[in-house]
Structure 1
Amino acid sequence: MTEGINVLAAMVLHYPQTVEGGNRSVWRMQHPAFAAAGQIEWEGDSLDWQTDESWQAAPAKDIRMHGSCPDTSRLVIQEEARGDASLQGWRLPGYDAAGWQSAAVYPKGAFLPTVSPAFQRKRSIPFLFEEKRPLHVFRAVQGDAAGWAALLEKSEPLTLPAHSEAVVELAAGRLMTAYLTLRVQGGRGSVIQWMPAEGYVQPRDGGASKGDRLDWQHGVLTGPTDRYEVGGFGAADDRLARQAIDSFARSQRADGLLNACYPAYKPNVIPGFSIYYILMLHDHMMYFGDKDLVERYFPVAERILQFYEDLREPDGLVGRMPGAGGFGGGYWCFVDWAKGWPVGVPPAAACGPAAIDSLMYCLGLGAAAELAEFVGRQDQAAACRSRAEALRCAVRSRCAGRDGLLQDGPGLEQYSQHVQVFGVLTGTLTGQKARAALEQTLDDPDIPQCTVAMGFYLFRALEQCGLYHRTFRLWDKWRRMLDNHLTTCVESDGSYTRSDCHGWGALALHELPSAILGVRPAKPGYASAAFKPAAGAWTHAAGEVVTPRGIIRAQWDVADGKLTKNIRLPEGMVLAEETDDF
């Protein structure tokens, strides 16, 4: 026991009931069972404990015990296991066992008398002696002998190349009963096989004879084989994302909006950030396809959308936000640290309805429609899409400005790159009008430009309009970060960057795999993958993309104006047909 929180946990093995299933010396039960009791003592105090209904249990569905090796099945039980992400860390404090069930107590007479827990007796002999002992490399049949030696003798990490095979024969130094452990990270779907053997045997006349147990030149190793399929949890790990999704949900107020940061000891409400929460749920759906998570948090999204719907005016636009001039009414209507925008709020917001609010609401409705559809709420999906179309029509009608641009507010000769970007992303601006609006804002420095904070949405709009090549110079903001010896991304452009480490500056984490390499989920949970590079000014990209279903390996090249693509998908994943709507 250690100071702080401790966990009592056990894995219960339910052996095959048939004797032929392995190891005849092990009693079989009709049902899996676990009975234990003990006492914890500390500083003159003690606590008695026992297994009862207060314990929680869950089946380990991906572990199978069997005795398929005919020569040794009467002596041993073999194991096959696949990594199960839902059980990762189940023996550690902080593990979320919300999906587990309370343990059940079997009624009297449920077991045969010979194996009933009621007939168990205290062990009369000491437990076998145990000690931790490293193995050493006896022979590397295929693979890096030095690397394996460093792993086993010095605990140095060993990386196996993708799609490679290693065969290593290890020695314990003496014959013993051993329980082998191996920690792995990544490598989802890789197979590890252990075959314990007493020593080398020499094949002879259809059988085998035993001589020098170390004579590998003339002998072979034989024995039962345990098989393990790597879960790859070190790769597609969404625990941090889940924690963020849950924390923000806990911050929801009576009006439906979320706190901009949480936990927090006082309110800090930025209405647009609540729309980002819906987009975050949508991102998680696309990458992980977790219907339970979407079902659990979709009501949070509904209340956010209702806040915006309640502000709709008769002309269809979202009305003036409380505190829209900056701070006030408990809200900070921040959009971006754009030049000329006091405290990050567009001046149009102080005059009445701001187009950016209607467009962000429209974007949230589009994401919510796909979330609702994913969990079978077709009527809600249709309602969200209907509202979104009404908003698009209202913005086109009330905010049409000069040269095909959308105004920052109805009737106001104020324009920003931001409104054009969200006009493109919501489908309010389409086709050549969308392309022209973006190019005009890129070429006119007097129009407020998207800063680092809005880089993600600007890049998405440029990609959508076939203008991704224009991002090459926009990366200068990040190049300057490197020139200034930053190792993290800043919050804002200009000489005063505010924070030197800000999440919304980490644009490259998305652009490199999803846009430039061009690999992203086409259907929820990566049921299918899209491979559509936004080549822009680049002529080559190659890389690996981690997904919950395994690693995708992709490469593309441009030569003589021709794009050549190659992609390798994990087993069971399909490549979506290439269209223009990914």
Structure 2
Amino acid sequence: MPLILDGAKRDRNVWIGDINIEGPTVYDSLGANGNDYLKQSIRLLGSYQLSSGFVTGCLAPQSPVHTGPPIPGTTACYSTSYSMYFTPDLADYYRATGDLAFARQEFPIVQRELAWNASRVNSLGLLVTDTSDGQDWDWYDGIKTGAVTEYNALYYLNLIEGAYLARETGQADLATQYTNKAAALRTAINTNLFNSRTGVYDLSDKVRGTVAQDANADAVLFGVAPAGAGPGILAKLKSALWGTHGPRPFTGTGYSTLISPFVSGYELRARLAAGDDTGAMQLLSDVWGQMVTPGPDFTGAMWENLNSDGSIQKGSTSLAHGWSSGPTSALTGYVLGARPVGAGYATWIVQPQPGSLSWTVGQVPTPHGPLAVKWGRASGGEFDVDVTAPDGTSGAIAVPASGPNTAITVNGTTVWDHGTFSAGAGVTSADSDGSYVYLSVSASGDYRVAAR
């Protein structure tokens, strides 16, 4: 059975948390050639759901798919936080592939997982962990108990993605229930776990004042943080955690200073999602630049973690670790700008975030064929983007330009003239938010867009 493992060196197991980074990497680089590795990994892990609803987070690749009823028990390997990656992993797979039959097949597991999560909610509306289920990606830091902010952000993401999968599988009432629970959880997190003194979310209700990279990156990326709060939170992460070779994960004593490319991958996406292109590019260079620089530790792959001085821990550290490949999907989805809107890229958006770059070229494999993008900008502010949309799809091309001050042609036809739209060249509508002009295209084909 095709499966995706965490690394060739160790642990050589199927890890559900790692898949949350590995999956988008595979979808954006291998497409149909790699999709089954994710599908079967998700299927294997979901088959080991316990009667409590907890999804097993780690299995050896030799494990057979469990075909019986849920296995008796409350918790298993690895933790509640890892158990909660099942739902977003399934949602990511469905978004990339459009495999509705598999989403329907696995959705009962999502329902039982979300019921398990709900059973761990306290009187303040926050999910809590204890010594039996409080481990996380940083196993070397030990167990985190109480209402841990990162775990609650993951629970929020579970509810949002659970609602998405419920809608897609035709269960609108259930989608509404999950959406309402997510809104209540978001309020509880912001009321009880945000620290107005530090300007960021606390690590937990038990550990106040510690700045946590994972909790705050997730809060910004997943939409827990209030609108407009992202820049301040990200600025605090930079001032409190960043060093020459990347961020340490936590302030304070008692935590390892190992730099985590896994967690930094979420911060990278959070910065891009918040429009902090400059910070994102610096983070990319600091953490991953040394991995791709020729030298004695170069492997052509991404390292599991690294010391604060940029060196690696000899002996045990994996130097080909999929959980560190976050830049692949981050650069594809934000810098190149190609992302799915409808499942399987039935609809898509191309929305480049140039930052300081002058050009980018790439393509995303989709079930319909490649979605190809090439963009470039001149020193005078002119911006060109070429998009080849695969058959059977439609989407939007977002041009980074001020609507009132820009004229845009598509394949030589003027479709936007300083705020006035004219249909033509396959463009059916257009709108502007002041930073981008959004052109809706109704069919596949080649679109050469020029903004002046």
TM-score by length of 1: 0.54
Taking the aligned partners of 1:305 and 1:398, their CA distance within structure 2 comes to 22
- The AA in structure 2 aligned to 1:488 is A
- The AA in structure 2 aligned to 1:416 is A
Pair 234,444 (structure 1): closer, same or farther in 2 beyond 3 Å: closer
Greater fraction helix: 2
Task: Give the secondary-structure state (helix, strand or coil) at the position aligned to 2:302.
Answer: coil
Taking the aligned partners of 2:327 and 2:193, their CA distance within structure 1 comes to 33
Which of 452, 464, 475 pairs up with 2:273?
Answer: 464
Task: Give the secondary-structure state (helix, strand or coil) at the position aligned to 1:466.
Answer: coil
- The AA in structure 2 aligned to 1:343 is Y
Alpha-carbon shift at residue 509 of structure 1 (Å): 2.8
| Partners of 2:262 and 2:323 within 8 A in 1 | yes
- Aligned pairs for 1:6-45 (under 5 A) are none
Which of 95, 110, 114 pairs up with 1:305?
Answer: 114
Q: What percent of counterpart residues are identical?
A: 23
Alpha-carbon shift at residue 395 of structure 1 (Å): 1.0
| Partners of 2:268 and 2:327 within 8 A in 1 | no
2:383 is aligned to 563
- The AA in structure 2 aligned to 1:435 is P
TM-score by length of 2: 0.69
CA offset digits 1:440-495 (Å, max 9, x no partner): 11122387357211133212211221113212222232221233322221111213
Pair 376,577 (structure 1): closer, same or farther in 2 beyond 3 Å: farther
Pair 288,413 (structure 1): closer, same or farther in 2 beyond 3 Å: same
Aligned residue pairs, count: 337
Alignment of 1:503 with 2:300, yes or no, is no
Taking the aligned partners of 1:432 and 1:345, their CA distance within structure 2 comes to 33
- The AA in structure 2 aligned to 1:454 is V
CA offset digits 1:376-403 (Å, max 9, x no partner): 1101111111111111111111112114
- The AA in structure 2 aligned to 1:468 is D
CA offset digits 1:483-518 (Å, max 9, x no partner): 332222111121327212211112233134222211
| Partners of 1:356 and 1:419 within 8 A in 2 | yes
Alpha-carbon shift at residue 559 of structure 1 (Å): 2.0
Larger radius of gyration, structure 1 or 2?
A: 1
Taking the aligned partners of 1:470 and 1:395, their CA distance within structure 2 comes to 26
Alignment of 1:436 with 2:223, yes or no, is no
Alpha-carbon shift at residue 304 of structure 1 (Å): 1.6
Pair 234,396 (structure 1): closer, same or farther in 2 beyond 3 Å: closer
| Partners of 2:148 and 2:204 within 8 A in 1 | yes
- The AA in structure 2 aligned to 1:575 is G
2:130 is aligned to 322
- The AA in structure 1 aligned to 2:383 is L
CA offset digits 1:33-89 (Å, max 9, x no partner): xxxxxxxxxxxxxxxxxxxxxxxxxxxxxxxxxxxxxxxxxxxxxxxxxxxxxxxxx
- The AA in structure 2 aligned to 1:322 is D
Pair 275,537 (structure 1): closer, same or farther in 2 beyond 3 Å: farther
Alpha-carbon shift at residue 234 of structure 1 (Å): 8.4
- The AA in structure 1 aligned to 2:392 is G
Taking the aligned partners of 1:430 and 1:466, their CA distance within structure 2 comes to 15
| Partners of 1:491 and 1:504 within 8 A in 2 | yes
- Aligned pairs for 1:410-559 (under 5 A) are 410=205, 412-445=208-241, 448=249, 451-475=260-284, 476-483=286-293, 484-494=297-307, 495-496=312-313, 498-559=317-378
Alpha-carbon shift at residue 539 of structure 1 (Å): 1.8
Task: Give the secondary-structure state (helix, strand or coil) at the position aligned to 1:410.
Answer: coil
CA offset digits 1:506-541 (Å, max 9, x no partner): 223313422221111111121111101222332210
Alpha-carbon shift at residue 344 of structure 1 (Å): 4.0
- The AA in structure 1 aligned to 2:396 is A
Taking the aligned partners of 2:31 and 2:344, their CA distance within structure 1 comes to 17
1:244 is aligned to 41
- The AA in structure 2 aligned to 1:547 is T
Task: Give the secondary-structure state (helix, strand or coil) at the position aligned to 2:201.
Answer: coil
Taking the aligned partners of 1:252 and 1:533, their CA distance within structure 2 comes to 40
Task: Give the secondary-structure state (helix, strand or coil) at the position aligned to 1:565.
Answer: strand
- The AA in structure 2 aligned to 1:306 is A
| Partners of 1:471 and 1:536 within 8 A in 2 | no
1:334 is aligned to 136
Which segment is superposed worse, 469-478 or 282-291?
Answer: 469-478
Pair 234,376 (structure 1): closer, same or farther in 2 beyond 3 Å: closer
Alpha-carbon shift at residue 562 of structure 1 (Å): 4.3
RMSD: 2.7
- The AA in structure 1 aligned to 2:280 is T
- The AA in structure 2 aligned to 1:382 is T
CA offset digits 1:210-256 (Å, max 9, x no partner): xxxxxxxxxxxxxxxxxxxxxxx985552212111111112212222
Taking the aligned partners of 1:288 and 1:504, their CA distance within structure 2 comes to 21
Taking the aligned partners of 2:112 and 2:317, their CA distance within structure 1 comes to 32
Alpha-carbon shift at residue 332 of structure 1 (Å): 5.3
Taking the aligned partners of 2:34 and 2:300, their CA distance within structure 1 comes to 24
2:90 is aligned to 281
Taking the aligned partners of 1:569 and 1:444, their CA distance within structure 2 comes to 43
Which runs of no fewer than 5 residues in structure 2 stay unpaired?
A: 3-29, 64-75, 243-247, 251-258, 399-431, 439-452
Taking the aligned partners of 2:62 and 2:371, their CA distance within structure 1 comes to 42
| Partners of 1:470 and 1:536 within 8 A in 2 | no
Alpha-carbon shift at residue 313 of structure 1 (Å): 0.6
Alpha-carbon shift at residue 345 of structure 1 (Å): 4.7
If asked which structure has higher relative contact order (CA below 8 Å, sep 6+), I would say 2
| Partners of 2:127 and 2:147 within 8 A in 1 | yes
Pair 443,527 (structure 1): closer, same or farther in 2 beyond 3 Å: same
